[in-house]
Structure 1
Amino acid sequence: FFVLIATEFFAPIREQGYGMHLVMMNTKMADRIFGFLDSMTAEQEIDSAHVPAFDSLKLEDLAFAYGEKPVLKDISMTMTTGKVYALAGESGQGKTTLAQLLLRRLRAAKGAIYLGEQEISGVSQLSLNEQVLYVSGQSTLLNQSIYENLRMACDWSKEDILDWADQHGVLQFVKNLPDGLDTIVGDDGAFLSPGQRQQVICARAVLAKRSLYIFDEVTSSVDQDNEGLIYDLINLVAKDAIVIIITHKMKQVEQADDILFLSAEGAVTGNHATLYQTSLAYGQLVDQQRELEEAVYG
């Protein structure tokens, strides 16, 4: 049993960033909180539908504006299970806004989002949270053991988790810790390195088994070795889910199966080779990062 509390339910949490979430499992506190949330939302969502697991996501002519300022216009794309999709673009062109639309924290001014055959506006928020998971650099770890943090996503034994980690070559740093999975992570993972912290967060997400994952800048503060390990986890979950990565690192964008690129000229879709040849803004952004990396690393 795995539970995610969306940020809009609690203002103090929302103030930490729209992507922050709190997960709790099998506790009396969780029962009380969700009983309260159910009482708040039951009347509002009486006509809302449950969304089952889905294997396709369709964006149909989406548009959104903040007041008089258009941010997204005519966004159309279909995504399916088994691929990694990159959402990239220049700063301020709507990447965060699109993520919030997918989480239904914002409502589109025009167009529709389909989760399988179900239009998102007709889905209850609780049902949406059961199928869509947002993961970021600000996602939270509880001040408990690595095992207890992972067990929020699945009711596996320590042996099961270690077997799974060995099978897929992930979380291997745990073997070098004196207390292994029983290692206390500290307040929000303070006792772990940034890379280890993000590995645990992303592994927990994979174990949660959602239909759609949105990974937002999950490698922004980690070294190259940990970045590779985190992308191993992302590629693992993409075998059975729809995966969207939001990143400013164009090297990661290039490796995606398909790309939705947002710029002042509008939205374009395609793989890296196609966009590099056909989109001036995309090509310029790729070249700028290459030049910067050469200047820094030689």
Structure 2
Amino acid sequence: MKHLIHFWPILKRLLCYGKNYKKHLILGFVCLLLASIFEVLGPVLISYFIQNSLVTHQMHISVLLMTIVIYILLQIISSIFNYLQDIIFNKISIKIIEKLRFNVMSSTLDLPINKFNQQPAGQLISCVTNDTEVIKELYETFISTLFRSIILISVTLITMFTLEWRMASIAITMFPLVLIITLSYQYYSKPILKKVRKYVTKIYNIFNEVINGINVIQQFGLETKFKNSIENTSKLHYLARMNILKLDALLLRPLLNLFSTIILCGLILLFGLYPKGFFEIGTLYAFITYLGRLNEPLITIASQQSILQQAIVSGERIFELIDTTKQKYGTDTVNLKTGEIYINNLNFCYDNNCKNTLNNINLNISSKKFIALVGHTGSGKSTLAQLLMGYYPIKNGSIYLDRRNINTLSKKVLRNGISIVQQDPIILDDSILENITVGRKIPKSDVWNILNKVHLIKLVKSMPKGIYSILGENGNILSVGQKQLLSIARVLISNPKILILDEATANIDLETEKKIQIILSSIKNHTTLIVIAHRLSTVKNADEIVVFHHGKIVEQGTHDNLIQNKKFYWKIYNSQNDNNSGI
């Protein structure tokens, strides 16, 4: 009972996806009912023929031919209705999975950034693809099979009790035994099926890691390590699947066939014990036939438990993803008018139990200023950039943009007013035009203008299809510097009030860095620039340099002032100069 209470809410929620298809479900149910009725009428016809023709030795060729024709017609009609119900239920299942998959993808797109940092990509991919496919089986196979089996069993039992209630009473003793087997199967199979799903997800994660990190894997000779990892996980998956198959082989068909055989022996014994003529031989034939037909749907229902269990496990994972708390944004929909930023007593940590990543940050950035954030790796610079983007809610302290609390601003205001260029640019497997507009309605003339501004116009004009040229997966036809310039063009075309460059010059050559510096100089008069950089040559001309150390601001000032102070910034600057002089 406890097990039933546990999985019923998941099953109920999965079944709710079918509420929009009530008419189709009713039609499919009617087809199943008619198919079962015509299927059950066959043995009744043969029983009548045996009793009235074979037993009495009154064989007429016309009666024989008529019996054969009607029997064949009954089976053909039953097959037609079975075909129709199969089409109907498959259509419903495809529509439902389409809706469910859309909900999962929509939920994934709305997940807070920290969820992507906490979950492997393979787990999310497995949830969207594999788990939804398992639930498709629930509608496509389990529900239609369950309906068909229940209807067939019900019609068969009604017919059996109509023909001979004593024999029917013996036959129904099978049902309590089947119920015990079914509940036992559910109890023992669920933990095994959870292991199966865990190993499938792990295999997805390994393959995702291999594909994304193939360069590092081949460079350091890690092929054997990953092969062993895949082999071990696949073996564990195989053993778990074998445990399910062993459970099927033990609890399902063998036991049910045994019960069916025992009940059949009971019917024959009953037929033999009663006086001659008490039971008709045609009735015995019908019962033997019905018992075989009862056995099959009972075995089917029991064997389909694995589909139900897998759907419950997949449903738990899907609804856990769908129900993940989404980040809440404010209701202020007025776009930013300036790029002014005011940060007051800001503290932040990624996990409630961890040490603060940012400690008591106070910073005032005037509109249209060029501000540089510098410091060693892990000092909190990128964390502050993510908070300014609104990727995480502010719980301790405050950030004001355009003199408005960032928590009150809508997501649209934040995305329209603030843009960020990451260290590793993301290039879509699409055209140059789509990579710049990314779905926004932007005139092509503006695209050409921005390409000229980021020094890519010669490159694009040299391509056969110009701005319609396809860049391939992750822009594999472009250099690292060209990718970064393209990503800058993508954000500059919307004229953001605040532009953040998070280590945007870390992986590029000096020539591209100079181009970026020229770009920054051309936009700093109408955009607030926040540049995070380890390479201090990029930020020497900043209006103000803010130095971070262990999550705190330890210095602020211009390049010249900080050099004169001979503190943190001076040490970093000299360290870089020493490294450069030794090259």
**Fold match (TM-score > 0.5):** yes
Residue equivalent to 1:144: 430
What is the 5 A alignment of 1:73-88? 73-88=359-374
Aligned length: 268
Residue equivalent to 2:417: 131
2:559 counterpart of 1:275 = no
Q: Shift of residue 244 of structure 1?
A: 0.7
Q: Shift of residue 240 of structure 1?
A: 1.9
Residue equivalent to 2:460: 174
Q: Give the structure with the larger helix fraction.
A: 2
- Say whether the 8 Å CA contact 2:370–2:544 is kept in structure 1: yes
Paired residue type of 1:61? N
Residue equivalent to 2:112: 8
In 2, the alpha carbon distance for the partners of 1:16 and 1:262 equals 30
Structure of higher RCO (CA pairs closer than 8 Å, 6+ residues apart): 1
Paired residue type of 1:63? N
SS in 1 for 2:424: coil
In 2, the alpha carbon distance for the partners of 1:13 and 1:189 equals 24
Residue equivalent to 2:342: 58
SS in 1 for 2:341: strand
Q: What RMSD in Å do the two structures reach over aligned CA positions?
A: 3.0
2:491 counterpart of 1:205 = yes
2:236 counterpart of 1:236 = no
What is the 5 A alignment of 1:1-298? 8=112, 11=115, 48-55=331-338, 56-65=340-349, 67=353, 69-108=355-394, 110-152=396-438, 155-166=441-452, 168=453, 170-172=455-457, 173-264=459-550, 266-296=553-583
In 2, the alpha carbon distance for the partners of 1:84 and 1:16 equals 36
Residue equivalent to 2:35: none
Q: Shift of residue 272 of structure 1?
A: 0.7
CA, structure 1 residues 120+225, in 2 after alignment: closer, same or farther (shift >3 Å)? same
Q: List per-residue Cα deviations over 1:152-180 (Å, max 9, x = no partner).
A: 375444444324544x4622332333433
- Say whether the 8 Å CA contact 2:112–2:392 is kept in structure 1: no
The TM-score with structure 1 as length reference comes to 0.78
The TM-score with structure 2 as length reference comes to 0.42
In 1, the alpha carbon distance for the partners of 2:525 and 2:540 equals 19
CA, structure 1 residues 48+220, in 2 after alignment: closer, same or farther (shift >3 Å)? same
CA, structure 1 residues 14+247, in 2 after alignment: closer, same or farther (shift >3 Å)? farther
Q: Give the structure with the larger strand fraction.
A: 1
Paired residue type of 1:288? S
Q: Which runs of 5 or more residues in structure 1 are unaligned? A: 18-36
Q: Shift of residue 16 of structure 1?
A: 8.6
CA, structure 1 residues 157+102, in 2 after alignment: closer, same or farther (shift >3 Å)? closer
Q: Shift of residue 120 of structure 1?
A: 0.9
Q: Shift of residue 207 of structure 1?
A: 0.3
Paired residue type of 1:280? K
SS in 1 for 2:357: strand
Q: List per-residue Cα deviations over 1:169-212 (Å, max 9, x = no partner).
A: 62233233343322211112111111111111101110022221
SS in 1 for 2:365: strand
Q: Shift of residue 234 of structure 1?
A: 3.0
- Say whether the 8 Å CA contact 2:394–2:407 is kept in structure 1: no
CA, structure 1 residues 87+291, in 2 after alignment: closer, same or farther (shift >3 Å)? same
In 2, the alpha carbon distance for the partners of 1:153 and 1:201 equals 15
In 2, the alpha carbon distance for the partners of 1:284 and 1:7 equals 40
In 2, the alpha carbon distance for the partners of 1:132 and 1:92 equals 23
Q: Which runs of 5 or more residues in structure 2 are unaligned? A: 1-108, 122-321
Larger Rg: 2
CA, structure 1 residues 100+7, in 2 after alignment: closer, same or farther (shift >3 Å)? farther
Paired residue type of 2:437? R
CA, structure 1 residues 13+76, in 2 after alignment: closer, same or farther (shift >3 Å)? closer
Q: List per-residue Cα deviations over 1:65-101 (Å, max 9, x = no partner).
A: 4645233233222223322211111222111221122
Q: List per-residue Cα deviations over 1:195-236 (Å, max 9, x = no partner).
A: 111111101110022221211111222111112222333333
Of 103-112 and 255-264, more deviation after overlay is shown by 103-112
